[in-house]
Amino acid sequence: MSVNLSSSAFARRQAIADSQDFRVITKRYGGLLGPEYTVAAGGRYYRCGELTLSQLKRGIRVDELDLLEIDPDEESEL
């Protein structure tokens, strides 16, 4: 029985790359629960904490997390 490992390895790598499609835009200090991050993913911006950021780094997709979507233009006025 022959198993095509290269196609399954490619699919696994693609899933990991897709799930880590995010970028940290800002980091704010001074909150009671630690730093607060603004994260960009899929053309949208979200606010999250340290725990959620670590979940994103581990490969959990943005749509699987309950993130607060924000407007970055309004955030800069605060």
Phi, psi of 42 (to 5 degrees): 60, 35
64 part of a folded domain = yes
Can you give the length of the chain in residues? 78
- Return the pLDDT at 70: 92
Say if pTM beats, i.e. exceeds, 0.75. no
Task: Calculate the alpha carbon distances from 56 to 9, 64, 67, 76 in Å.
Answer: 21, 10, 11, 24
Helix segments in the chain, DSSP class H: 5-19, 50-57, 72-75
Of all residues in the chain, the percent with pLDDT exceeding 90 is 36
Which residues span the domain enclosing 44? 22-75
Q: What is the mean pLDDT of residues 15-20?
A: 51
Domains: count for the chain: 1
State how far the alpha carbon of 75 is from the alpha carbons of 19, 25, 29, in Å.
26, 12, 15
